[in-house]
Structure 1
Amino acid sequence: MLRVFLVQTAQGLTPSSGGYKANVNLLRQLSKSGHETAQICYGLEHEVDKFAKKAVSKGVEPNVTICTTIPVTDLQGVTHELSVKTFRDMDRVNNVVISRDPFNKAYPYWEFRADTIDYIQGRPISKRMRTLLDLFSERIKAFKPTHVVFNDALTMKLTGELKSRGEYDGKRVAIIHTAEQLPFGPFCGGIEGHCISAEEEYKMLQGVDGIWTVSGAIKRYAWEHGKLETTFLVHSNLTYLDRETGGMPKVRMNVDRDEVGMVNPCPHKGLSILLALADKLPHIKFVVWKSWGSHEQHIVQLQARPNITIMETTCDTDEIWDRIKILLAPSLWFEAWGVVVTEAQLRGIPVIASNAGGLPEAKIGLPHCIPVKAISGDHDANGEYDIPDQDITPWESVVSTLMADDDEYRNLATLTADESAKWLCGLDERSHEKWLLEMMKSGPEMPKEL
């Protein structure tokens, strides 16, 4: 039996980011197959109560326990109490939840980043960082995992130290969700919070037991720029199945809807294409859902267009699929996969996407995938990616046709739903499980050219 422990860096138990959904659904899939799983994460008080009630409704005893309260003193001398709770959710995943708000006060982002860099680079670390590392270490050792999985450098170093001291003897598995995570290539550290110490992180990646890349595009990038051998596996099936029923998601036929949607509008996700479309097509309504990349200056640009409606971040994607007629995914960066693209297509929502990074894989050959001038990795004076000018003509043509021609729309929506369902049914739901089990039989494979 596998015992898989995830270190989840997302804020909250229901993160909206596709990468973090993939992390959690890996655990759910393994739990469904009879393995023991656990995660440590940052959550809000009401989330624990909500998840515990959901577990009870599904016949699972949540066993909510307040394990400890840890005092942490910040740089101003103020002490914050971190509450740590454990519970078992409806999928039988064991959760260790650090109270999010006190954590953010005790570890402000820029200070936590500096502490992490000190730790990664082998410099003396603060008392509050040692407190956090001790908490993670205790939880990992108590669970006795066969595998620890992570997508952050801090956990990669911590688990390496535990192994070197003989305090952990399982496998260490890194998950790569973005090219920016990788410590090499044109996109290394291109977005804040990704790859904070390239030389050290590259060395550490050489010592892990497995590296999961979520698309063929990221796998090829890792080899081309860093000669790093990785394993490409499509996200767990449960990432795309209905959360409540575990079955295929509900297919919409939204021919009567009148809005074009986009999630996470920001420059590297193709904000310039959205804004140009809104200007070119003032008679068409657009709606966007803010997410991690949507900053105030981007919101101001969106607000200046009267045909764009701005919605808050949502973890309930059904409100998106019930509302929109078309989804735009005009990314200009090296997109790893694009979970939202696959989610929409499975529900019969036509997606107009760019061909950046792994988006053609997420599109699974369905119309429409439009070539763009992708981000090169260069940055402007503000430290943001330089955004190349784009040809808006093909985007304008497709959006106009699908919004006006009901027959064209129905045909594409039906094709989209049917082909996406076939694709999902053709995936091996136990591929991750098999990979992790195989990892226990042997060491890492020798690198080989793709």
Structure 2
Amino acid sequence: MLRVLLVQTAQGLNPSSGGFKANANVLRSLAAHGYETAQICYGHEQEIELHVKKAEDKGINPDLAESSMVAVDLRGIVHELFVKCFTDEYKEDTRVYLERNELSQRMQSLVKLFSDHITEFQPTHVVFNDPITMKLTATHPQRATFKRINIIHTAEQLPFGPFAAGVDGHCMSPAVEDALLRDLDGIWSVSKAIQKYALTYGQLETTFLIHPIATYLDKDASGMAVLPPVRNNIDKIEVGMVNPCAQKGLSILIGLARNLPHIKFVVWKSWGSRRDHLAQLEDIPNIQIEPTTKDTNEIWDRIKLLIAPSLWYEAWGIVVTEAQLRGIPVVASNAGGLPEAKMHIPYIIPVNAVTGEREANGDYVIPDQNIAPWVETVNKIMTDRDEYRALQEQTVTKSAEWLRAQDPRGHEKWFLSMMDAK
């Protein structure tokens, strides 16, 4: 019998992170087949109250656990906190814990909280994508009773290669994290691109599994995954993009909008969209900026075409797969795992991807791009109805074939195989 405990690291119970969404669907798919699941996650206080009410309205007992913990503020004053949520650990505290096994008061409280939940839940598997959980589970008193699995959602998460620590907060102690990775029971790469990266730069063997298929589907009122309706958006007038930011291809978006003033663009903010990124878009008259949305149907009901001009080493690109399964054509770059997420359906445009070189502030250096093929392709799809119909038909047919070929119980089988291995 599987008992799977997941540790989430994204901020909030409903973040715009695709990795968070995919992680949660691992638990949902296992729970749907009768297994016990639980997760530790960082929630904002108001979210917790809303989450409890939502569960109770459905007749579900949310079984909210409340406890206390000791925390020390920046002035050294000790506080006893009533815990329903708590703030993230300091980066330096994390580095010291990883490298010297020394615990600040704050880190000690966090490690104890996580460890106590593992002891209480008695999992068969602990799943995570952060170094703190990877370290504390290595020496947990019940270590022999559970398997340790790390999900690799980004190349920046890995402690080797050109993109190591390329995102703030990722990979704070490469040597320690490298050793910890090689002592795990399983490492899950979410794309063949990430699997190849790990093998090429770290000689690290990992297991490739796509995200649970529920990640890409709609949910009915009971929370069950259902096939999404296919949109016929040929008469819509907007090109959409999610998470406009430098590494996601902001420069290509701006080039498209300026070269195609007769076409309307709409973007939805997400985790990477900084103030300086949005400022570059605000004065472009044919770009509309929308807030982050929890309901992606708002996107699919509105746009005619999605662009994903990413310039960094994408792990997958969940939004791309979601769009195509709903009959929304996608024009994407060839960065990282995006061709996999697109199921190799046209159009995939080569880009000058980031190399790992950094600016003084730590951001990736963004190479110049050839905008011409993007302008030609987007203009043709948006103005040629025959082209759009043909591309939409191919998108609907190929994505449905792809979905039918997936194993909805692949993760379950992988977890069970670990228990069989001696």
Q: Note whether the superposition's TM-score is higher than 0.5.
A: yes
How far apart are the structure 1 equivalents of 2:394 and 2:163?
Answer: 35
Residues 18-27 or 406-415, more deviating: 406-415
CA deviations over 1:77-119 (Å, ceiling 9, x no partner): 46666544xxxxxxxxxxxxx42xxx23xx5xxx611111111
How far apart are the structure 1 equivalents of 2:68 and 2:36?
Answer: 26
- Does structure 1 residue 411 correspond to structure 2 residue 390? yes
How far apart are the structure 2 equivalents of 1:48 and 1:357?
Answer: 35
How far apart are the structure 2 equivalents of 1:18 and 1:4?
Answer: 20
Given the two structures, how large is their TM-score scaled by the length of structure 1? 0.89
Q: Structure 1 298/79 Cα, relative in aligned 2: closer, same or farther at 3 Å?
A: farther
Tell me the matched-pair count. Answer: 419
Query: Which AA in structure 2 matches 1:64?
Result: D
Runs (5+) with no aligned partner, structure 2? none
From 363, 366, 374, the equivalent of 2:353 is: 374
RMSD: 1.7
From 367, 391, 399, the equivalent of 1:388 is: 367
Name 1:259's counterpart in structure 2. Answer: 238
Query: Which AA in structure 1 matches 2:217?
Result: L
How far apart are the structure 2 equivalents of 1:209 and 1:27?
Answer: 19
- Does structure 1 residue 157 correspond to structure 2 residue 135? yes
Query: Which AA in structure 1 matches 2:189?
Result: T
Name 1:446's counterpart in structure 2. Answer: none
Name 1:176's counterpart in structure 2. Answer: 152
CA deviations over 1:343-377 (Å, ceiling 9, x no partner): 01011111000001000000102111111111111
Name 1:343's counterpart in structure 2. Answer: 322
Name 1:447's counterpart in structure 2. Answer: none
Name 2:269's counterpart in structure 1. Answer: 290
Query: Which AA in structure 1 matches 2:66?
Result: C
What SS does the aligned partner of 2:66 have? strand
From 201, 215, 226, the equivalent of 1:247 is: 226
How far apart are the structure 2 equivalents of 1:413 and 1:81?
Answer: 58
How far apart are the structure 2 equivalents of 1:409 and 1:82?
Answer: 57
Q: Structure 1 178/63 Cα, relative in aligned 2: closer, same or farther at 3 Å?
A: closer
CA deviations over 1:16-55 (Å, ceiling 9, x no partner): 1111111100000111111100001111344334434444
What SS does the aligned partner of 1:260 have? strand
CA deviations over 1:126-185 (Å, ceiling 9, x no partner): 1111011101100011000000000000100010020xx445521000000001111000
From 334, 354, 360, the equivalent of 1:355 is: 334
Residues 276-285 or 210-219, more deviating: 276-285
How far apart are the structure 1 equivalents of 2:259 and 2:149?
Answer: 47
CA contact (8 A) 2:119 2:142 kept: no
Name 1:64's counterpart in structure 2. Answer: 63
How far apart are the structure 1 equivalents of 2:136 and 2:152?
Answer: 18
How far apart are the structure 1 equivalents of 2:347 and 2:78?
Answer: 54
Q: C-alpha displacement at 1:416, in angstroms?
A: 1.1
Name 1:94's counterpart in structure 2. Answer: none
Given the two structures, how large is their TM-score scaled by the length of structure 2? 0.95
CA contact (8 A) 2:137 2:143 kept: no
Q: Structure 1 168/79 Cα, relative in aligned 2: closer, same or farther at 3 Å?
A: farther
Q: C-alpha displacement at 1:4, in angstroms?
A: 0.2
State the percentage of identical aligned residues.
58
How far apart are the structure 2 equivalents of 1:51 and 1:65?
Answer: 10
Runs (5+) with no aligned partner, structure 1? 85-97, 444-450
How far apart are the structure 1 equivalents of 2:82 and 2:144?
Answer: 25
CA contact (8 A) 1:141 1:167 kept: no
- Does structure 1 residue 36 correspond to structure 2 residue 48? no
For 1:19-418, list aligned pairs within 5 A: 19-56=19-56, 58-59=58-59, 61-77=60-76, 82-84=81-83, 98-99=84-85, 103-104=86-87, 107=88, 112-162=90-140, 165-166=141-142, 169-244=145-220, 245-418=224-397
CA contact (8 A) 1:66 1:83 kept: no
Q: C-alpha displacement at 1:407, in angstroms?
A: 2.4
